[in-house]
Every structure is written in structure tokens, then in C-alpha cells.
Amino acid sequence: IIALSKQKDLEKYGYNVLIANTGEKAVVLSKNNNKIDLILMDIDLGKGIDGTEAAELILKDREIPIVFMSSHTESEVVEKTEKITSYGYVVKSSSITVIDASIKMAFRLFDATNIIEKHRQHLNITLNSIGDAVIVTDIWGDVLSLNPVAEALTGWKSELVLGKPLPEVFNIINAGNRKLVDNPVNKVLETGQIIGLSNHTVLIAKDGNEYKIADSAAPIKDFHGLITGVVLVFRDVTEEYRNKESLLRTENQYRMLFESMIDGICLHEIVYDTGKAINYRILDANPKYEQILQFKKEDIVGKLATEVYKTDDAPYLDVYAKVAETG
């Protein structure tokens, strides 16, 4: 009788209303009719499942705003419904204007929730598409999420570290002295500035693997400029370090060979003008070259050949010209 009365009142306000007098029927009706936009759910539904159980079953199949309407005002009953959905709770004795206002508020809240969820999904897609590792923390420095690259480097799954302090997930040390590196997120929260890690920082993953990394941490701010969290972006530079170390070793070997050769050697680069070699700039000279020509390297490096060699040395320039022309 109450349902029929409310139905007539709501239809006067322009709503199309369907009635289900048991929880089971409500679940079936919701499942089979995708035109239903909102449910006013009573709690006491006689025999069978009650309104809270019916609501939980309905929400497993679809996202829809559910407003509970009941004569119960006990705190434990209201709290139980809030754990299921939070689109409103109306006492049965409320006037039609209050019910109408509650329905409209539920629709607005539902639309806002959908917009937030779409933004969240878009953000997750963006984070997961970034080639660098990304960790997001809250204002206390506890982990909120990791993108797949961060999961791979740290060895942690995002769902397992939610709420953990960052150092438990992002364990970093100095490669030289093996001492712990200060938490960059703490520095960001203290200063409000973007912070970069120093060189030679090593990340120790959950499985014990070590990666040399380069990173930066930046504050996340709301519309009022208040810090609400920190985003940490880092990448594996282990291979880069290996290449640099290899290049340095090669350079050192070359330098030792260059310096110890018994022949005088001087390196030049060609100076061109309109495609023609017109001169030669000195780049380097070994000690034997200095000894033979009585030059000091620091006096000639960077100078043009014509500024260094005397006119009697013209044959040298002719040789350089032939080399430049023929390759």
C-alpha cells in the first residue's frame, strides 16, 4: 500500500515507477530492465532476502544509484546501508518533496561519481603507458599506486603495497658506500620542490636484484596549491652506466697508448669553408710530438695549423690537404 502511494506521488513529479514487492523480484527486475535509472529500496521486504541483500546482488551486476527508503532510523541500520552504497537514506514518512530532492541528489552524485571514475581510469591508463617507472604516494609518504614499470623494477605488485611506507617498496642506497639514501618523498613534502636523486643511486628490488636508477620526485598539488601527495618517476640506467664505464675504460686505454707511443702524434680536425678544406685545427698531441717539434701541448691545442707551423713547414700542410681531399 505504501509503495503504491509513493508510486502515485512520484508519477505526479514525472517519474516512471515500477514496483517489486520482494527482494528476489527486485533483483530480477533490475537485471532484466536496463532502462531503470534509480532504485528506491525498502529494507523490510517480508520473507526472503531483505533490501540490503537485494541491493548487494543488484550492484554486482550493474552500477546504479540506490536510495534506501525505510522506517528504520537506528544508527546500525543506516550504517549498514552506507557500507553498500551512499546515494541516500530517506525515512518513509518523508514528504514527496523530500523524496524528490533525495532522488535528484542521488542522480547528481551518481553522475559525479561516474566522472571521477572515468578520470581515474584515464589517469591509470596514462600512468600505465609511461615508459618510466612511476610511484604515487599520499601526503604521509605511503604508497598509493605503482605502474607496471615500477612493479617490474621494485618487484612489488601495486595491490600488495597499498598504504605501505615508501622505503619498504623503494629501497635505495648509494652505490659507493652502500649506505641508505634519504627518502626523496620526505624531501619533497618538506620543501614543496622537485627533488632529483644524486648520481650512483641503486634500487634494491624485492628479490634482491639491484638497478642503478635516475629519478625525480615532484609534489602533487590541488587547485589551491596544497600538496596532496608526491609522484616519483625513475628509470633503470644500469646499462647506461655499464656503457659509460666501458667507454671510460676504452678512453683510458687509448690515452695510455697515445701518451706512451715512441712516434710523435698530433691529431687535427679539418676546417672547411664552402665545402673546401682551408685549414686544420689541432686537437691533441702526445709527449713525443712535443719533444720533436719543441711545442707544449697546452700552447697549440685549439689553434689553427697556420698559426702554429712556420712557412718552412708548408709541406705538412700540403699533406693535410691531400688527406682531406682524398679521405
Q: What is the pLDDT of residue 75?
A: 82
Q: What is the pLDDT along the chain (327 residues), one digit of tens a residue?
A: 888 888 898 999 999 999 998 889 999 999 899 899 999 998 888 788 988 899 999 999 889 999 988 888 788 878 888 888 878 888 888 889 999 999 999 999 999 888 888 877 777 777 676 778 899 999 998 999 899 889 999 999 988 888 999 999 999 988 888 888 888 888 888 888 888 877 788 899 999 999 988 888 889 888 888 888 898 988 888 777 777 777 777 788 888 888 888 888 888 888 877 777 677 888 888 888 888 888 888 888 888 877 777 655 455 556 555 655 655
Q: What is the pLDDT of residue 215?
A: 81
| pTM over the 0.75 mark | no
What CA–CA distance (Å, rounded) separates 10 from 26?
18
Q: What is the pLDDT of residue 250?
A: 78
Secondary-structure percent of the chain, ordered helix, strand, coil, rounded to 5 = 45, 25, 30
Q: What grid cell was written down for 298?
A: 697546452
> Which pLDDT tens digit goes with each residue over 151-185?
999 999 988 888 999 999 999 988 888 888 888 88
Q: What is the pLDDT of residue 320?
A: 58
Q: What size, in residues, is the chain?
A: 327
Phi, psi of 312, deg, nearest 5: -65, -15
Q: What is the pLDDT of residue 104?
A: 93
Q: What is the pLDDT of residue 325?
A: 60
* Amino acid (one-letter) located at 45: L
Give the number of other Cβ atoms within 10 Å of residue 6's Cβ.
Answer: 19
Give the number of other Cβ atoms within 10 Å of residue 92's Cβ.
Answer: 15
Asked whether 236 and 215 are in contact (CB, 8 A), the reply is no
| DSSP label at residue 208 | S
Asked whether 188 and 195 are in contact (CB, 8 A), the reply is yes
- Close Cβ partners of 236 (under 8 Å, ≥ 6 residues apart): 133, 153, 211, 212, 213
> Which pLDDT tens digit goes with each residue over 219-264?
988 888 888 889 898 888 877 777 777 777 778 888 888 888 888 8
Buried/exposed 272-300: b ≥16 CB within 10 Å, e otherwise: eeeeeeebbbbeebbebbbeeeebeeeeb
